[in-house]
Amino acid sequence: MLTIVTNSIKGTATFDASYRYRYRLTRSWLTEGQNLRQVTFIMLNPSEADAEKDDPTIRACSQFAQRWEYTQLNIVNLFAHRTSQPSILKHINDPIGPENNRYLHEASATADAVILAWGNWGSLLNRHQDVLDLLAIHHHKFYCLARNQSGQPRHPLYIKRTTRPTPWQQNS
C-alpha cells in the first residue's frame, strides 16, 4: 500500500533578487521519527512553481519521490532562467544564472540519489555535458527514469508513476 502525504508538505524556493532565476525548489514530508532521505531531480529549467505552488512537473516528481520512500525532494535545473517555453532559453543572455552551478552541486552532494531528467533541450549550449562534468564526483548517485531517442534522460511528466529509476550510464 502506498500512502501519499498531501497536507503536511513543507516547501522552499530559492530565487535571485529579481525572481528571474529559480535556483532550488524543495518539498519535504519528513515527519517525526523518520530519517531524512533526499532525492534530487535535475531538470531543464524552472517554470512557475514556488515555495507554495506546484506545477504538474513538481507534482509528478513529488509522486515519484514519495513512492520511492524519500522524505525530501530537491529540484534543480541545468538552466535557472524561469520560463514555460524552453525554446526561449536559446535567446536569453544568461539562461544558466550566476549561482546555478553552486545549487546544482549542493543539491547533488546532499542527495541520496540524483535523477537526471532534463529531456531533449539538455544539449542546448552543451549544458548537459557541462553539468555532468561539474557533478562527476557524484556520478555514483546518478539515475534516470528513461531515455529519449537522442539518449538524453527523459523529463518525468509523461512517465508512468510506477517507473523505478535505473542507474545512469553516460554512453548507453
The domain spanning residue 151 has which CATH number? 3.40.50
How large a percentage of the chain has pLDDT more than 90? 90
Which residue type, as a one-letter code, is found at position 62?
S
pLDDT at residue 30, as a whole number: 87
Q: Classify residue 5: in a domain, yes or no.
A: no
Q: Is 9 exposed, middle or buried (0-12, 13-18, 19+ CB in 10 A)?
A: middle
Q: Classify residue 109: in a domain, yes or no.
A: yes
Q: Total structural domains in the chain? A: 1
Alpha-carbon dihedral sign for residues 56, 9, 23, 146: negative
CB 153, CB 132: distance < 8 Å: no
Give the global pTM.
Answer: 0.94
pLDDT at residue 1, as a whole number: 28
Cell of residue 149, nine digits: 531517442
Please write the tens of the pLDDT for every residue from 5-50: 445 889 999 999 999 999 999 999 988 888 999 999 999 999 999 9
Question: 111: domain range?
Answer: 10-167
> Which residues pair with residue 42 across a beta bridge?
76, 116
Cell of residue 76, nine digits: 534543480
Q: Classify residue 3: in a domain, yes or no.
A: no
Query: Where are the strands (E) in 35-170, listed by range?
Result: 38-43, 72-77, 113-116, 142-144, 166-167
Name the residue with cell 530559492.
Answer: 14
Please write the tens of the pLDDT for every residue from 91-122: 999 999 999 999 999 999 999 999 999 999 99
Average pLDDT over residues 50-66: 97
Q: Classify residue 94: in a domain, yes or no.
A: yes
